[in-house]
Amino acid sequence: MSLRVYNTLTREKEAFQTIEPGKVSMYLCGPTVYKPAHIGHMVGPVIFDTVKRYLTYSGYDVTFIINITDVDDKLINKAQEKGVTVKALADAMTADYMDNLQLMGVDTIDKFPYATDHIGDMLEMIQKLIDKGHAYPLNGDVYFAVTTDDDYGKLSHRSVDSMMAGTRVEANDQKRNPADFALWKSSKPGEPAWDSPWGPGRPGWHIECSAMSSKLLGDSIDIHGGGLDLMFPHHENELAQSECASGKCFVRYWMHNGLMQSGKNTGKVGGQHDRHGDSSAEDQIAGKLAGSAGAESVKTAVFAHHHPEAVRFFLLSTHYRSPIDFSSENIANTAKGLDGFYRLFENFERITGVSAYSLTVPTTREQSTSMEGLPAELARELGELRDRFLEAMDDDFNTGGAIGNLFEMRRVINGYVTQNKLEDAATPEQKAILTTAVTVLQELAQLIGVFRKPVQKSAGADDEFVAGLMGLILELRADVRREKNWAAADKIRDRLKELNVTVEDVKDGPARWSRS
C-alpha cells in the first residue's frame, strides 16, 4: 500500500503526490510566544515531527517549518503588564518553547521563522492583494475583501453568507463586508509599529503565515498542518490570501490534528495560537494535570510528573485527527506500557553486552533490516508485524494502529528470549538473532521518535513514585485539615519542609507541592 493522506480540503483520504517528485514542503502554524508553552503547544510539533520522520523514511526529502509569532496583541499586552519589552518577552518564551520541543524529542524542524523578520514580505503580499483588487486600505488598516474571492470558505466549507450571520458587527463597520479581515492594523502610540504605505502599523495574524510560507517554501506547498481550531478563520484566510496573491494552489494537503480534551473541559488546547478569546480551557486542563488550580506550563504541569517520552508516546497512541483524552492517569498508563520496552532493552544489554540505544538502524524503508539468519517462525512474525506497522502509517499516519504492532513485536521478542532461556546463556548465534530482532523494533520506534536514548529509568520511575506518594500524603493532610486537626496538618507540612518539599495551600483546591 502506498501512502494516503486525509485532506481537510476535500474531506477525503487521497494518494500522496508531491508537487516536486521526492520532495515535501511542510508548514505548521507555530505559537504566539507570550507565555510559557503548555501541553497543547506540543501536540502539533510532535505529530508533524512524526509525519516528517515517516516521510523521510519513505524516501522523501522533507523541509519542515514552524513559524514563531512574535508580534501580536496578546504579546503586547503581556509585555506591558510585565514591564518588559515585547522582544524580551518573545525571546524568553521562544527559548522555553524550543526547550520543551527538545524534551519531547522534536528535532526535525528545519527552520523557525520569526514574523518580525518577514514584515517586508508581508507588506509585499498586501500590496499585491490591493493591486489585484482583493484588498483595500481603510483608515490606516488594510482589509481583505472576502467577496472578491469566489473560493472563500472552501476549506471550512462555509459560505460568506453563513459567516456573516455569525459575525458580530465590529466597531469598524466601514468595512465593505463584516467578514473582511485585517491584513494590516494601524498601531496605537507605544505599540510596536513598522512603516507601511498605509501608515505605521503591524501585520494581521493570517498574513504572517501566508507571507512566510511563500517566502521560504514557495507559492505552493505540499502539507499545511495545524490544530482543528485553526481551520477557520486562520487557515481559510491564509488560503484566500495566498491563492489570490499568487494565482496558484496554496496547499496540496491540509492536515488538521484533533484537540485535547480532559473530562468536560474540551478546548482548543491542541491548537497553536491561543488566538480566540481567553485560554481558560487549556489552563483548566493544565491545572488539573498539575493537581492544582490555574495555568501551568508544560514543564511544571506535565514534565514534573511524567517523562516526556511517555507524553510523546501517549500523544501518538491515538490517531492524530482524533481528540486527545488528556489526563495524568492516561499518561501514567502509557508510561507503564513503556516500562516493558525498557525492561526488554535492559535484558538485551545483559544478554548481548550491547546497548539497544546504540544499534545502528536503517533510516529508509528501502534499506529496511534484513531478517536473514532469523529462525523462520520469528522472521515471519516480525515481518508481518513490520508490514502491519508500515500499513498503518501509510493509512494517513495512523500512529495509534502502528504502535500496537510495537507491543506485539516486544511480546514476540520476549517469547524468543524466554523459550531459549537466553538470560541464562546465549550462543553467539542467538545473540545475533536477538540483535536483529531488536534492530527491527528500533527501526520502527525511531519513526515514532521514541527509544532513541535511554530515559533516566530510575529517575522517571522515581518521579512517578514520588508523585504518587505526595498525592497520598497531601490527601491525608487534607483529611486531617477537614477534621480541623491543625497540629497534625502543620506537622506534615513542617516535616516535608525538612525534606525540601514545599506545600502550598490553595483556596478551593488541592494543595500544591514543589521540591527545591
Q: Among residues 29 and 244, whose Cβ is nearest to Zn ion?
A: 29
Residues forming a β-bridge with 512: 504
Bridge partners, residue 358, by sequence = none
Minimal distance, residue 209 CB to Zn ion, in Å:
3
Q: Would you say the C-alpha torsion 91, 93, 94, 95 has a positive or negative sign?
A: positive
Handedness of CA 487, 488, 491, 497 (dihedral sign): negative
Q: Give which of 210, 191, 213, 218 is closest to 202, Cα–Cα.
A: 191
Residue selected from 3, 5, 26, 29 as contacting Zn ion according to rule CB under 5 A: 29
- Cβ 249 to Zn ion shortest distance, Å: 17
Between 47 and 103, CB nearer to Zn ion? 47
Q: Pick out residues in 129-158 that bind Zn ion (CB under 5 A).
A: none
| Residue 70 · residue 94 · CB < 8 Å | yes
Nearest distance from C-beta of residue 237 to Zn ion, angstroms: 9
Q: Segment contacting Zn ion (CB under 5 A): 5-13, 25-33, 384-392, 483-491?
A: 25-33
Q: Which is nearer to Zn ion, 33 or 209 (CB)?
A: 209
We find the least distance from the C-beta atom of residue 321 to Zn ion, in angstroms, to be 18
User: Using CB atoms within 10 A of its CB, is residue 287 exposed (0-12), middle (13-18) or buried (19+)?
Assistant: buried
Could you tell me the smallest distance in angstroms from the CB atom of residue 238 to Zn ion?
Answer: 6
Q: 210 or 300: whose CB is closer to Zn ion? A: 210
Quote the DSSP letter at residue 301: I
Closer CB to Zn ion, residue 29 or residue 216? Answer: 29
- The x, y and z cell numbers of residue 320, run together, are 492524530
Instruction: Compute the least distance from the CB of residue 135 to Zn ion, in Å.
Output: 18
Q: Does 66 participate in binding Zn ion (rule CB under 5 A)?
A: no
State the binding string over 204-243 for Zn ion (x if CB under 5 A, else -).
-----x----------------------------------
Quick one: which segment of 155-163, 201-209, 417-425, 427-435 binds Zn ion (CB under 5 A)? 201-209
Q: Which C-beta is closer to Zn ion: that of 29 or that of 413? A: 29
Which are the contacts of 26, defined by CB distance < 8 A and separation ≥ 6?
Answer: 48, 51, 52, 62, 63, 64, 65, 221, 222, 223, 224, 225
Minimum CB separation of residue 472 from Zn ion in Å reads 44
Q: Is the dihedral of CA 98, 103, 106, 107 positive or negative?
A: positive
Taking alpha carbons only, the member of 211, 317, 225, 235 closest to residue 270 is: 225
Q: What does the alpha-carbon distance between residue 450 and residue 122 come to, in Å, rounded to a whole number?
A: 38
Sheet holding 324-325, edge to edge: 265-266, 260-262, 324-325
Q: Give CA–CA dist 45/54, Å, rounded.
A: 14
Backbone torsion region of residue 27, taken as left when φ is above 0, otherwise alpha when ψ lies between -120 and 50, otherwise beta: beta
Contact segment (CB under 5 A) with Zn ion among 22-30, 155-163, 403-411, 459-467 equals: 22-30
CB of 467 to Zn ion, least distance (A): 36
Binding-site size, Zn ion (CB under 5 A): 2
> Minimum Å distance from CB 267 to Zn ion?
19
Segment near Zn ion (CB under 5 A), from 27-35, 71-79, 107-115, 285-293? 27-35
Instruction: For residue 33, list its beta bridge partners.
Output: none
Contact stretch for Zn ion (CB under 5 A) within 6-14, 24-32, 173-181, 287-295: 24-32
By C-beta, is 29 or 441 nearer to Zn ion?
29
For Zn ion, the closer of residues 209 and 374 by Cβ is 209
- Smallest gap from Cβ 106 to Zn ion, in A, equals 18
Q: Where does 353-449 have alpha helices with state H?
A: 376-394, 399-419, 428-448
- Look at residues 24, 33, 31, 63 and name the one whose alpha carbon lies nearest to residue 45: 31
Specify the stretch interacting with Zn ion by CB under 5 A; choose among 23-31, 105-113, 313-321, 455-463: 23-31
What is the binding site for Zn ion (CB under 5 A)? 29, 209
